[in-house]
């Protein structure tokens, strides 16, 4: 009897381990492909771009928006034609992209460039007055 009970317990443990392996395998099969597909493949991205171009020809705004929602987080293609189609698809779906330019930094950069240009024109005027006066950019700066 004792031997029979041990065999029964071992059989139950083996069945329990098998069911746990099945559960872990199911979890692995379910979640690993989505983690591996986190970044869109080039083939999928290019296919979506072609679908969007076809939807544009038939004025199917629903398909364009659906495809653009999948494309918006994808890397823009390096190919010129595909890149243009990508931009058109996202533009049609979402409108003109909002400007993310830092105006303060841009003004500072312009002012620094103007100051450097002014200094360079002064140096050119000291080195060769005829060339500085004949240069339209320096001439405009000097006459201000």
Q: Would 40 be classed as within a structural domain?
A: yes
Contact at 8 Å (CB) between 77 and 83?
yes
Q: Would 90 be classed as within a structural domain?
A: yes
Q: What is the pLDDT of residues 70-83, one digit of tens each?
A: 988 888 888 899 99
Q: What is the largest CA-CA distance in the chain?
A: 117
| 44 and 86 both lie in a single domain | yes
Q: Could you tell me the residue range of the domain that residue 30 belongs to?
A: 11-94
Quick one: angle between helices 61-71 and 80-94, nearest 10? 110
Contact at 8 Å (CB) between 135 and 119?
no
| 63 and 120 both lie in a single domain | no
The number of domains in the chain is: 2
Q: What is the pLDDT of residues 34-81, one digit of tens each?
A: 555 556 788 889 999 999 999 999 988 999 999 999 988 888 888 899
| 67 and 125 both lie in a single domain | no
pTM exceeds 0.85, yes or no: no
pLDDT at 3 over 70: no
């Amino acid at each position: 009897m004792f031997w029979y009970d041990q065999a029964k317990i071992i059989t139950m443990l083996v069945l329990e381990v098998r069911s746990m392996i099945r559960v872990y395998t199911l979890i692995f099969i379910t979640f690993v492909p989505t983690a591996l597909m986190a970044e869109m493949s080039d083939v999928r991205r290019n296919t979506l771009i072609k679908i969007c171009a076809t939807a544009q020809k038939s004025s199917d705004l629903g398909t364009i928006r659906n495809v653009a929602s999948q494309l918006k987080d994808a890397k823009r293609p390096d190919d010129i034609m595909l890149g243009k189609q990508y931009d058109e698809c996202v533009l049609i779906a979402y409108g003109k992209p909002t400007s993310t330019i830092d105006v303060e930094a841009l003004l500072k950069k312009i002012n620094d460039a103007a100051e450097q240009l002014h200094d360079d024109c002064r140096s050119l005027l000291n080195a060769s007055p005829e060339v500085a006066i004949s240069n339209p950019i320096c001439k405009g700066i000097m006459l201000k």
